[in-house]
Amino acid sequence: MSGVPQQQQQKQKQNTVDYLATHEAAVAAAGSCSQPALKQQPTPAGVAGMPGHVASANSAGTYSSSSLPLAIAAQQRKLSGRYALTDFAIERTLGTGSFGRVHLVRSRHNHRFYAIKVLRKEQVVKMKQVEHTNSERAILSIVRHPFLVNLWGTFKDSTFLYMVMDYVPGGELFTLLRKSQRFPHPVAKFYAAEVALAIDYLHQNNIIYRDLKPENILLGADGHLKITDFGFAKYVPDVTWTLCGTPDYLAPEIVSSKGYNKSVDWWALGVLLYEMLAGHPPFFTEDGNPIKLYEKIIACKVRYPPYFETGVKDLLKNLLTADLSKRYGNLHRGSKDIFGHMWFAEVDWDRLYRREIPAPYLPTVTADGDSSQFERYPENDVGEYSRTDLPDNLGHIFPDF
């Protein structure tokens, strides 16, 4: 296997909240819009074995932000106020970010393990992530898919927001990829296919994910994946202009500050697939200079290693194209061009959707609550949780938590 560029060996979870601060052409987000209710989606014609995904139809609650239309808001499961931090015992920290952290917790009632994402409200406001945070909660409250993480409930105190989600014990795909340096074609195909099913489900419900990368893909104990972190996901029936995502995965139209649609996720799938096969993204820059990175993305000149199969090169060339009139997923056949591509010819999509196809890698998980696949972090801030002696000056900004 080829070595991974030295700079890629170190984990960089930086996203556009801070990494793209120098990009002067960023423009404001598009306004709110309307959409019909989530519905069962028909099997795409011409793609054998492709499942029709069923979106959650449970109704409850309302969504007071303009991030989602009322038709979708009406279908949100009742999640707010279902829990309090006293319902859980915090085991350890699984990850940290710019304005929060994720903990492994155990329910004091059913004794099951969950992941709780804790966000400091003051930092969310300071980083101008209020809309993204409210949107993440709203979208997770309505989506249901085998390859998407589940949200079980939310709550808040005077200082923090809390989101109770699935605990996915196998760790990040990022970690597995760095250990492997690169994946064999069948392994990359398996993960790319599961990601494609999840992205297609979101798109059929007019949701753009916008932050596809190995760090946001977790592996279950059975080896099947779960996409997590919906902080940049957004309901978009047509076009949006918000600059967000992770630099290496940004599509040319985002870098160029043009309006863009759901096809940016299919571009990101191409970047992910390339990285899984090569061990680094297609537009990687040794010095990490974002301007050079953007120039390479806009130029869209991809060099394919000689060991790339002919079929995957053909698929990548149709995903990693700046010409939207040629990019797979954006043509009149939509995602069927991807699912029906020759490189995926042997994939039984229906069995894959039902997780009946064995995963190529099983994480070493010895028991429920095993967290050995995650890095260790200092256990900070825990003592500040659920304080009742402080005024809640920001709670009204997050009405649905």
| Positions marked catalytic | 211
Burial of 103 per CB tally in 10 Å (0-12, 13-18, 19+): buried
Q: What's the distance, Cα to Cα, between the start and end of the chain in Å?
A: 47
| Residue 81 to residue 153: CA distance in whole angstroms | 7
- Name residue 313's amino acid: K
| Residue 231 to residue 42: CA distance in whole angstroms | 28
- Name residue 377's amino acid: Y
* Chain centroid to CA 222: 20
Between the CA of residue 253 and those of 40, 204, 257, 297, 303, what are the distances in Å? 31, 21, 6, 10, 20
Q: Quick one: which H or E segment has residue 255? A: helix 252-255
User: Using an 8 Å Cβ cutoff, are 160 and 121 in contact?
Assistant: yes
On whether 317 is known to bind a ligand per the annotation, the reply is no
| Residue 395 to residue 401: CA distance in whole angstroms | 9
Q: Other C-beta atoms within 10 Å of 389: how many? A: 5
DSSP bridge pairs for 116: 103, 164
φ and ψ of 244, to 5 deg: -160, 160
* Nearby residues of 311 by Cβ (< 8 Å), 6 or more positions away: 341, 342, 343
Task: List, in sequence order, every beta strand (DSSP E) within 61-112.
Answer: 88-96, 100-107
Q: Which value, in Å, is the radius of gyration of the alpha carbons in the chain?
A: 20
DSSP bridge pairs for 154: 80, 163
- Going by the annotation, the residues of the binding site are 117
- Going by the annotation, the residues of the binding site for ATP are 117
